[in-house]
Structure 1
Amino acid sequence: MFTLPDMPQDRALLELADRFSESEATSLRAFLAFLHVSAETYEAYNVHFARYGLSDGRFSLLIFLLTERERVPTPSDCAERLGVTRATVTGLLDGLEREGLIRREPRPGDGRMLAVRLTEQGQKLLEGMLPDHFRRITACTSHLTEIEKMLLISLVVRLRSGLPALSER
């Protein structure tokens, strides 16, 4: 049987399911397992990014700038792409700019707007870390077959579709 540390035992989940008609033991167990693994993943991810002086948000922003080739994005574009507020992106950009990893400049053709560009230093940081980053992700998922990896993607997408049930009023 699959178990995670600090997770309620099946007996406790069954008792909760019996006590509250709205619950179902397998759903509780699956969701708790997902939460535990998510928390452990974020913890490991943060340790990994700290090696490079980055956070998940800073890394995501740098990767967006590295891969955005069709146009030079604005801070608003960055916020939209990352799914965060403009204020959050401003904080990320401020720190990355202080470290010389990005620069903000007037956008070509519309000087009233800012464009965000990856600097040479930012490019070098990513080129130096990405091989290690990809190696670690591959190692993390190496215990899964290709079919299991595709199934995991499918299950996570399906689980995501139920997230509004947690936040709706």
Structure 2
Amino acid sequence: MASSLILPDQQTIHRMVSRYPEIDVPSVEACLAFLDTSTAFYNAVDNYLAHYRLSRGKFTLLMQLVEADENGLLPSEFAERAGVTRASVTSLLDGLERDKLIVRQPHPIDRRMLTIHMTDKGRELMNTILPQHFVWIKEWMENLSHREQQTLIELLAKLRSGIDLSEKL
């Protein structure tokens, strides 16, 4: 189980301004609140998935397969959709295959490639997990009106558009 973030309080942030005049206190406070909320969300998801011996990474791959057609997906498609390396996907797929939740099959046209398909056991697991998963998402978001939820989506998209690590590093 992941632990909570230990975040600096407002007084600590204000004391740091004398050493680091670049600090914009409202920006730091907003960022810390976002990180704290993200951590709480991830902890809740991790705890739920742990009951099914799944990590977020494995769950993400299974979610991609829930709606995949009978042709399955290529490992490279998982990597591209999840924004991770092919090596990471391979490791996750190995675990899912070991648990008999997915199966690798030769590509129907190019025998050098493999396609990934969910097994009946995998579909059964996802049919067990997803109803409660979606109930909890609804419960987590019910403190916000539908309009506030839409505003949150817009604000997060706006925040994300300002983050380009390739230019910041």
Name the structure 2 match of 1:82.
82
Unmatched runs of 5 consecutive residues or more in structure 2? none
Aligned-partner Cα distance in 2 for 1:6–1:76: 37
Name the structure 2 match of 1:124.
124
Name the structure 2 match of 1:168.
168
Aligned-partner Cα distance in 2 for 1:164–1:23: 19
Matched AA of 1:79? A
Equivalence map 1:1-169=2 (5 Å): 6-69=6-69, 71-164=71-164, 168-169=168-169
CA, structure 1 residues 18+71, in 2 after alignment: closer, same or farther (shift >3 Å)?
farther
TM-score (ref. length: structure 1): 0.89
Quote the offset at 1:45 in angstroms: 1.1
Aligned-partner Cα distance in 1 for 2:38–2:63: 21
Aligned residue-pair number: 165
CA, structure 1 residues 165+81, in 2 after alignment: closer, same or farther (shift >3 Å)?
closer
| SS of structure 2 residue aligned to 1:78 | helix
| SS of structure 2 residue aligned to 1:112 | coil
TM-score (ref. length: structure 2): 0.89
| SS of structure 1 residue aligned to 2:100 | coil
Q: Give identity over the alignment, percent.
A: 41
Stretch moving more, 11-20 or 152-161: 11-20
Unmatched runs of 5 consecutive residues or more in structure 1? none
Matched AA of 1:107? H
CA RMSD in angstroms comes to 1.9
Q: Is the 8 A contact 2:71 2:115 kept in 1?
A: no
After superposition, the C-alpha distances for 1:49-84 in whole angstroms (9 at most, x for unaligned) are 111111111011001011122842111111111111
Quote the offset at 1:9 in angstroms: 3.4
Q: Is the 8 A contact 1:16 1:25 kept in 2?
A: no
